[in-house]
Amino acid sequence: MSFEAKLKQLNIVLPAAPQPVASYIPAVRAGDLLFLSGTGPFKDGKIVFAGKLGRDLTVEQGYEAARLTVLNALAIVRKELGSLDRVLRIVRVSGHVASADGFTQQPAVINGASELLVEIFGEAGRHARLALGAAELPLNMAIELELILQIR
């Protein structure tokens, strides 16, 4: 099954690709690698999960935020490539979690991203990953994800 068909089967509708909040572009291709800009939990152009984990948001909310952020990243990919079916492999995900002092469950939060990628892309969605606790994130978003993909 194609990745676009899988998305439909999962009843997932991608949001509009978020606009960069500054002077850069959403994705750059170099060879067969596609480097995405960092993106966050946007819906209709607004951040819907703001604040820090361990203070303002529960792990469950962080998980949802990571899931939503992946949808925004995939919206960028589709806009860039025309179709998710040009994805060969999710290579690397770096996941940055706005973290209050003492919050160390970043992996459980970023799983919201990782598990959705595997749901959609299957084996091709299994990626290397980095989960980190950020002091602060742009616009007070709770999660920022950066993906590197291999594409055809």
Chain residues that interact with a second copy, rule: CB under 8 A: 20-28, 30-33, 35-38, 54, 89, 91-94, 96, 99, 101-108, 110-111, 114-115, 118, 126-140, 144, 146, 148, 150
Q: Which is nearer to a second copy, 84 or 127 (CB)?
A: 127
Q: Which is nearer to a second copy, 13 or 30 (CB)?
A: 30
Q: Which is nearer to a second copy, 85 or 136 (CB)?
A: 136
Q: Which is nearer to a second copy, 8 or 104 (CB)?
A: 104
The C-alpha atoms of residue 109 and residue 106 are separated, in whole angstroms, by 5
Element (H, E) at 60: helix 59-81
Contacts of 30 (CB under 8 A, 6+ apart): none
Q: What minimum distance in Å lies between the beta carbon of 34 and a second copy?
A: 9
Q: What minimum distance in Å lies between the beta carbon of 115 and a second copy?
A: 5
The structure tokens listed for 13 are 């509708």
Measure Cα distances from 144 to 25, 73, 85, 90 in Å. Answer: 16, 10, 24, 17
